[in-house]
Amino acid sequence: EDLSAEVVYSLHFRDYQIKEMLGKGISSTVRRVTEKSTGVEYAVKIIDISGEKGEITQLDQVKKDTYREISILRMCAGHSHIIELHDVFETPTFIFLVFELCRKGELFDYLTSVVSLSEKRTRIFMRQLIEAVAYIHDKNIVHRDLKPENILLDDQLNIKVSDFGFATVIAEGEELTELCGTPGYLAPEVLAHSMYENVSGYGKEVDMWACGVIMYTLLCGAPPFWNRRQMMMLRAIMNADYTFNSPEWDDITEAPKNLIQKLLLVNPKDRLTAKDALKHPFFHSQITEEKLFH
């Protein structure tokens, strides 16, 4: 494994004992650690800023991006469904972000292990997720990479939104233009902007689109816009071309389908905001569904 003496020593110097690997991203490795003085366990994200070929400009970018991630994590601190940053330190080679540990891992792995979720379980997860999104949107933060791999679960199966690596602060009236995120979760307006000239940028609504994709995936165990050929998948996204197909959707009630429909709308202006989504009947479905939908 790529565990360098410098990593072990730096963590030791900061009072952490290093344990097994929890995850690996493009530019980072995440490991479990124990704080020696307290015995409390954390997850440390170790970001390599040394670079192998001395590409200084690109490295500066990694460093800048990490500082942005840290500042956004600090802006979001204090919400029960957003990952908590416990400690930060750096050496010339690495930046270390120490997070609260989510022992139950990624929502992605949880979903894989159970194939699909009940409406009741989906309601609990989606409420927590959208509450977290409402909180960050209120602070004018857009996450831009919501997906089951970046949603972690603690011991009690509480959701913790994590990986703010693509997150950004958006000014009032500002439009974002970068193409970033993960293909299957990209909102139509992000694709439209990158494909056509003179198409306006995008905003917070992209996170609500991703919530729609996540919710669909949780309920039926398969994503709404999957195609072996990526161009076909992107075209399906841009037309919101998805179905509630048999047999997976047969036993699923109207309320969740209706919420998904109001999230997977091509026009971002028509899409539910996080605040409004929390008012949707799906989250208050003690009320009989016939009354609301028929």
By beta-carbon distance, which residue lies closest to ligand ADP?
Answer: 25
Q: Least CB distance from residue 150 to ligand ADP, whole Å? A: 5
According to the annotation, is 120 in a ligand binding site?
A: no
Nearer to ligand ADP, 99 or 209 (CB): 99
Instruction: Give the residues lining the site for ligand ADP (CB under 6 A).
Output: 22-23, 25-26, 28, 30, 43, 45, 83, 99-102, 105-106, 149-150, 152, 162-163, 165
Joined tokens for residue 1: 């494994």
What is the distance in angstroms between the CA of the first residue and the CA of the last residue of the chain?
59
Q: Which residue has the tokens 């307290």?
A: 38
Nearer to ligand ADP, 129 or 277 (CB): 129
CB 184 within 8 A of CB 225: yes
Q: Which does 73 bind (CB under 5 to 8 A by kind): Mg ion, ligand ADP, none?
A: none
CB 175 within 8 A of CB 201: yes
Instruction: Give the residues lining the site for Mg ion (CB under 5 A).
Output: 150, 163
Nearer to ligand ADP, 43 or 132 (CB): 43
Strand partners, 35: 16
Q: Least CB distance from residue 178 to ligand ADP, whole Å? A: 16
The dihedral region occupied by 287, where left means phi > 0, alpha psi between -120 and 50, and beta the remainder, is beta
Give the separation between CA 84 and CA 72, rounded to whole angstroms: 11
Nearer to Mg ion, 23 or 221 (CB): 23
CB 52 within 8 A of CB 44: no
Residue 73 Cα to chain centre, angstroms: 13
Q: Least CB distance from residue 30 to Mg ion, whole Å? A: 9
Q: Which does 43 bind (CB under 5 to 8 A by kind): ligand ADP, Mg ion, none?
A: ligand ADP
- Active-site residue 155, yes or no? no
Q: Least CB distance from residue 270 to ligand ADP, whole Å? A: 30
Point out the catalytic residue in the list 65, 145, 155, 276. 145
Binding residues: 45
Binding residues for ATP: 45
Q: Please list the active-site residues.
A: 145
